[in-house]
């Protein structure tokens, strides 16, 4: 179920703002269709031109973390994803899951020697490297990622 809203401020100097929302089942198979849909919207917005790779990879990682860690891959649980865009503030992507959250400061750095060969633990690192701003809310159950 997706909602699309677009609002334009009454002021002539304010750029238009666009907002989209989608809810998906906590199933790995739902990630690619949602990412494809969101990236089509990002391309239409034109604010992410030249930044599509960074946005797509960060979104995939955030959704995978929500499915695997926030929902324990339980397809009866739901993940919310919203995209808000305007010319001045760029693109804001929010992913929220019903899990307990986590402390982002306690996630081991994958570039440390003891973690180099680990088969997991790079998602948060990549998101932070690819996006211009990243914030964790709701005790880590919500990630807010911005790209200018």
Cα separations in angstroms, 126 against 41, 61, 85, 109, 147? 22, 8, 22, 11, 14
User: Helix, strand, or coil here: 71?
Assistant: coil
The reported pTM is 0.86
Q: How many angstroms separate the CA atoms of 110 and 122, rounded?
A: 6
Identify the structural domains of the chain with CATH numbers, from first to last: 18-147 (3.30.565.10)
Distance CA 54, CA 93 (A): 12
Count CB atoms within 10 A of the CB of residue 15: 13
pLDDT digits (tens, 9 = 90+) for 10-64: 444 545 778 999 999 999 999 999 999 999 988 887 778 899 999 999 999 999 9
Enumerate residues 6+ apart whose C-beta is below 8 A from 90. 47, 48, 132, 146, 147, 148
């Amino acid at each position: 179920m997706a909602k699309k809203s677009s609002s334009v401020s009454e002021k002539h100097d304010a750029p238009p703002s666009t907002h989209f929302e989608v809810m998906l089942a906590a199933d790995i198979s739902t990630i690619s269709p949602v990412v494809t849909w969101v990236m089509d919207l990002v391309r239409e917005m034109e604010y992410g031109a030249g930044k599509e790779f960074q946005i797509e990879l960060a979104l995939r990682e955030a959704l995978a973390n929500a499915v695997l860690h926030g929902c324990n891959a339980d397809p009866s649980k739901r993940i919310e994803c919203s995209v808000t865009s305007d010319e001045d503030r760029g693109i804001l992507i929010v992913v929220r899951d019903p899990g307990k959250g986590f402390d982002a400061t306690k996630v081991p750095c994958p570039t440390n020697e003891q973690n180099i060969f680990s088969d997991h633990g790079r998602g948060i690192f990549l998101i932070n490297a690819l996006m211009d701003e990243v914030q964790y809310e709701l005790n880590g159950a919500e990630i807010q990622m911005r790209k200018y």
